[in-house]
């Protein structure tokens, strides 16, 4: 009971601080740049960019729609990935589907379904048509491919583990032998103990909003019970058969980075948990700005040591 009271007081204080902070700083979308170093990377993928947006929650977007679209256009990604949870409520679904259509116009765009999409019975057929029109697809325990030059990037999209019918092994079984790079995509970190089985160089997840309200130097205070608090945001690696991935860059390290983060896929599969874009029932963010993740692919030198630079 004491813990409940303390949590409620902490949330109240955080909300007040967040509103004051938002009044001063506006609602910015903070890009995170990650150089993903890949051994024997196909030459056509050198310098290619893959962007991720997750948890739009249209109706509770933390940034103006035009700013979001402009950010994607500024990045000019070769592939755009959408991590699910498109609308805040059922009444926001038409606007959310329109936003997805606009975001998808400039490049192949692949998306997955989140827990809110299943709970709200989002029109997934309309969502799939919009994504297919871009050259991408909606992936529900499926693999999709996009060409970048004469290279093939394969996206392995796992259904939501909370409201959907997630099946990591069935998704991994659809991986093809001709892919030059594989990226996993799942809405939630809840499957953290299974995602390395996708066989992807990196897997991208959202859902957590990074904790949404965070105090400096502390782990996320408000998270779901389906994953450890340290997995609320940041960069991680599956290494040495350990079930819990090792943290490569914490929430604070990501925010403090003055240049691109750099991580090697040679040392084990990577996991990135994005802070997302929208907000939950509590419509504020504190110490946890909205995020667009931009991955730049670079070739890992033959003599590289597989170390990370965060």
Helices 93-103/124-133 angle, 10° precision: 10
Smallest CA-to-CA distance from 271 within 208, 177, 220 is with 208
* Percent of the chain scoring above 70 in pLDDT: 88
pTM: 0.89
Which whole number is the average pLDDT over 276-298?
Answer: 92
Confidence of residue 302 (pLDDT cuts 50, 70, 90): low
Nearest 5°: the CA angle 190, 194, 198 is 120
Range of lowest pLDDT (99-108, 117-126, 279-288): 279-288
Range of lowest pLDDT (18-27, 41-50, 114-123, 236-245): 18-27
Residue 212's pLDDT is what? 86
Confidence of residue 107 (pLDDT cuts 50, 70, 90): very high
Residue 14's pLDDT is what? 47
- When the candidates are 3.60.21, 1.10.3210, 1.10.287, 3.30.420, the CATH number that belongs to 29-300 is 3.60.21
Instruction: Compute the distance between CA of residue 303 and CA of residue 77 in angstroms, rounded to an integer.
Output: 29
Please list, residue by residue across 254-267, b when 16 or more beta carbons sit within 10 angstroms of its beta carbon and e when fewer do: bbebeebbbbbbeb
3-state secondary structure 46-103: CCCEEEEECCCCECCECCCHHHHHHHHHHHCCCEEEECCCCECCHHHHHHHHHHHHHH
Range of lowest pLDDT (166-175, 211-220, 252-261): 211-220
Asked if residue 218 has pLDDT above 80, the reply is no
**Residue 183 in 3-state DSSP?**
strand
Residue 306's pLDDT is what? 63
The dihedral sign for the CA sequence 16, 22, 27, 30: negative
pLDDT digits (tens, 9 = 90+) for 121-142: 999 999 999 999 999 999 999 9
Beta-bridge partner residues of 291: 30
Residue 166 near residue 113, CB atoms below 8 Å:
no
Range of lowest pLDDT (22-36, 46-60, 101-115, 179-193): 22-36
Asked if residue 9 has pLDDT above 70, the reply is no
Average pLDDT, the chain: 88
């Amino acid at each position: 009971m004491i813990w409940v009271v303390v949590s409620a007081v902490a949330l109240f204080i955080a909300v007040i601080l967040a509103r004051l902070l938002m009044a001063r700083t506006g609602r910015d979308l903070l890009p995170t740049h990650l150089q993903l170093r890949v051994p024997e990377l196909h030459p056509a993928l050198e310098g290619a960019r893959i962007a991720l947006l997750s948890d739009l929650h249209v109706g509770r977007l933390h940034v103006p729609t035009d700013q979001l679209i402009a950010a994607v256009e500024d990045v000019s990604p070769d592939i755009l990935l959408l991590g699910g949870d498109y609308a805040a409520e059922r009444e926001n679904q038409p606007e959310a589907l329109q936003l997805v259509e606009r975001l998808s116009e400039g490049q192949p765009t692949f998306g997955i379904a989140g827990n809110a999409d299943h709970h709200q019975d989002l029109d997934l057929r309309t969502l799939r048509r919009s994504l297919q029109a871009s050259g991408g697809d909606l992936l529900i325990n499926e693999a999709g491919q996009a060409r970048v030059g004469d290279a093939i990037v394969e996206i392995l999209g796992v259904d939501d583990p909370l409201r959907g019918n997630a099946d990591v092994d069935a998704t991994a079984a659809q991986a093809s032998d001709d892919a030059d790079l594989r990226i996993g995509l799942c809405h939630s970190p809840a499957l953290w103990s299974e995602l390395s089985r996708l066989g992807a160089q990196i897997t991208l997840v959202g859902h957590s909003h990074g904790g949404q309200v965070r105090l400096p130097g502390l782990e996320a205070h408000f998270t779901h019970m389906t994953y450890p608090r340290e997995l609320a945001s940041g960069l991680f690696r599956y290494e040495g058969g350990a079930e819990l991935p090792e943290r490569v860059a914490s929430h604070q390290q990501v925010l403090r980075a003055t240049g691109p983060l750099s991580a090697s896929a040679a040392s084990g599969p990577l996991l990135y948990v994005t802070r997302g874009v929208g907000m939950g029932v509590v419509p504020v963010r504190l110490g946890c700005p909205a995020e667009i993740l931009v991955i730049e692919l670079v070739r890992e030198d033959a003599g590289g040591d597989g170390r990370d630079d965060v």
